[in-house]
């Protein structure tokens, strides 16, 4: 079954749902776009809100610590939705923690990644020359 979002691009069973460069001023638009795409792809509440929250946390980190600009790739593959956010910036000044912090509280640096790890099924951080790619995924079923 194929759906067509407002931009006329057909959804297929698997593949690229959205590809978008972004900066700080684009984050509200990006939240709306991602919410619409993951809804049409079949991600139900409350997981849909968690996915958009995770995307916003990672994209915000990218703007703040990754040089101000990033690129988002949203994929539907093998029963899951995957979001990849890449930047070309220097990154944060300290170590990034994607793991749980002692006492169950979010650490100050890396708090967005900590939150993303909590609400998604998979989180991967890959250094790439200057910058990095943060990927996270949620199962559809």
pLDDT per residue as tens digits for the range 67-118: 899 999 999 998 999 999 999 887 654 444 555 554 555 455 568 899 999 9
For residue 108, the model assigns a pLDDT of 53
In this prediction, residue 2 has a pLDDT band, given cuts at 50, 70 and 90, of very low
Nearest partner of 120 among 36, 51, 73, 58, judged by Cα: 51
Q: Is residue 4 predicted with pLDDT exceeding 60?
A: no
Domain 16-139 class in CATH: alpha beta
Lowest mean pLDDT among 2-6, 109-113, 129-133: 2-6
CA dihedral 21, 27, 75, 67 (to 10 degrees): 50
pLDDT (0 to 100) of residue 95: 43
* Sequence-ordered list of residues with C-beta below 8 angstroms from that of 108, at least 6 positions apart, any chain: none
- Strands ordered across the beta sheet of 80-87: 15-23, 69-77, 80-87, 132-139, 122-127
pLDDT tens digits, 9-40: 444 557 999 999 999 999 999 999 999 999 99
For 50-61, the pLDDT digits (tens) are 999 999 999 999
Place of tokens 């890396």: 110
């Amino acid at each position: 079954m194929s759906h067509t979002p407002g931009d006329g691009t057909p959804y297929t069973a698997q593949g690229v749902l959205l590809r978008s460069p972004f900066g700080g001023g684009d984050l509200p638009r990006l939240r709306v776009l991602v919410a619409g795409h993951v809804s049409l792809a079949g991600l139900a509440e409350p997981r849909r809100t968690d996915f958009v929250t995770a995307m916003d946390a990672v994209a915000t980190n990218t703007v703040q610590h990754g040089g101000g600009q990033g690129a988002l790739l949203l994929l539907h593959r093998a029963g899951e939705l995957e979001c990849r956010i890449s930047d070309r910036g220097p990154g944060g000044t300290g170590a990034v923690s994607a793991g749980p912090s002692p006492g169950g509280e979010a650490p100050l640096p890396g708090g967005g990644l900590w939150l993303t790890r909590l609400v998604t099924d998979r989180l991967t951080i890959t250094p790439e020359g200057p910058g990095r790619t943060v990927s996270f995924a949620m199962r559809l079923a």
